[in-house]
Amino acid sequence: MQFDRQRLARTAMAKALQLRKRTGASLWEAVCVYDIAERLGVDVRFIDIPSMEGAYCLSGRASIIVSSLRPPGRQAFTAAHELGHHVFGHGDQYDDLVHGRQDDEHSEPNEFMADCFAGALLMPKLAIDHSFAVRAISPHNCKPEDVYAISTYLGVGYQTLISHMRYGLRMLSPSRAEDLLGHTPQLLRSRLLGRECRGNLIMADQNWTGRAIDLQVTELILLPASTSVEGRAIAVIDQTSTATMVQAIQPGIGRVVSPGGKWAAYVRVMRQEYCGLGKYRFEEEVNDDVE
């Protein structure tokens, strides 16, 4: 099917930026798509269907459904994609699991538009430019670890960010994108920790602003040295002269604080592969054995 991709992409980007402003989100900071959906009165529900990426349902209260079995970055992009269907009034949608899909491979205008909307909502150019600028680095010569850190801040996958910068924003040359994609997220996580790391790892420091740090139980946060934690949901598991390693212990909300309190961020923890309404995902578990 032939359609005007540039026109649809411009429309999707404009709508995404308008939504950021409408919900009080700046154009240069990261956002939580689930929080935005809730502000719009759209329920988010996580369910464990292996063959599904996500869905948008209009029956009764508008709802976005996201597979609980996907990596966090993929879940966030899927939710933003489904939110695009809601914003553009596309009606009920069901997105099967698709591997290796890129924006410019879409043959359906509604799917293309929803993906463009998701990219612009989660990764607007101003937010990407700001993320590189505050770190005093450039997309053209930075380390893959820097791109990985920015992807965790924006809440998207490493490859997703690179693809968006390459195809959506034209910020990366084909050769530069190929070079960055030669470093897998698993390899980068292991390199950052100095040991094998199979689970998710988030990198956060004083440049993390605009949203809470969200993660699942057992996942890790790599923080600056001497960072302290508050609350039962998280705990320091390693301290070195250059970094602090924090792990998500149980569902709930905690906080990480830099030395002297110059920077702090809330940390919200959900169960692994959580199933249920998104607004309840950080509720602490009740111990029925306690009298």
pLDDT tens digit sequence for 115-129: 999 999 999 999 999
Residue 168 burial (CB count, 10 A)? 19
pLDDT (mean) for 264-280: 97
251 and 264 Cβ atoms separated by less than 8 Å: no
pLDDT category at 291 given cuts 50, 70, 90 is: very low
| Same domain, yes or no: 139 and 115 | no
160 domain residue, yes or no = yes
Look at residue 101 in the predicted model and tell me its pLDDT. 46
Provide the whole-model pTM: 0.92
| Same domain, yes or no: 129 and 154 | yes
Residue 288 has pLDDT above 70, yes or no: no
204 domain residue, yes or no = no
| Same domain, yes or no: 42 and 32 | yes
pLDDT category at 133 given cuts 50, 70, 90 is: very high
Give the integer Cα–Cα distance in Å for 128 and 134.
Answer: 10
Look at residue 97 in the predicted model and tell me its pLDDT. 60
pLDDT (mean) for 217-223: 98
Half-sphere exposure of 73 (CA within 13 A, CB side): 22
pLDDT category at 2 given cuts 50, 70, 90 is: confident
| Same domain, yes or no: 31 and 109 | yes
| Same domain, yes or no: 35 and 11 | yes
Q: Which amino acid is at 121?
A: L
| Domain closes at, from 122, 138, 153 | 122
Look at residue 107 in the predicted model and tell me its pLDDT. 67
| Same domain, yes or no: 128 and 30 | no
Look at residue 99 in the predicted model and tell me its pLDDT. 44
| Same domain, yes or no: 59 and 91 | yes
148 domain residue, yes or no = yes
| Domain closes at, from 196, 227, 252 | 196
Look at residue 112 in the predicted model and tell me its pLDDT. 95
223 domain residue, yes or no = yes
| Same domain, yes or no: 9 and 105 | yes
| Same domain, yes or no: 115 and 60 | yes
Give the integer Cα–Cα distance in Å for 147 and 231.
Answer: 30
**What six digits make up the tokens of 104?**
């410019």
Average of per-residue pLDDT values in the chain? 93
User: Which residue from 195, 181, 124, 196 is spatially nearest to 148, judged by alpha carbons?
Assistant: 181
206 domain residue, yes or no = no
Task: Please count the structural domains in the chain.
Answer: 3
| Same domain, yes or no: 19 and 108 | yes
291 domain residue, yes or no = no
| Same domain, yes or no: 223 and 273 | yes
169 domain residue, yes or no = yes
pLDDT (mean) for 153-175: 97
| Same domain, yes or no: 116 and 130 | no
| Domain closes at, from 196, 221, 252 | 196
286 domain residue, yes or no = no
Q: 3-class SS at 107?
A: coil
- Look up the CATH number of the domain holding residue 83: 1.10.10.2910
- Residue-number span of the structural domain to which 160 is assigned: 123-196
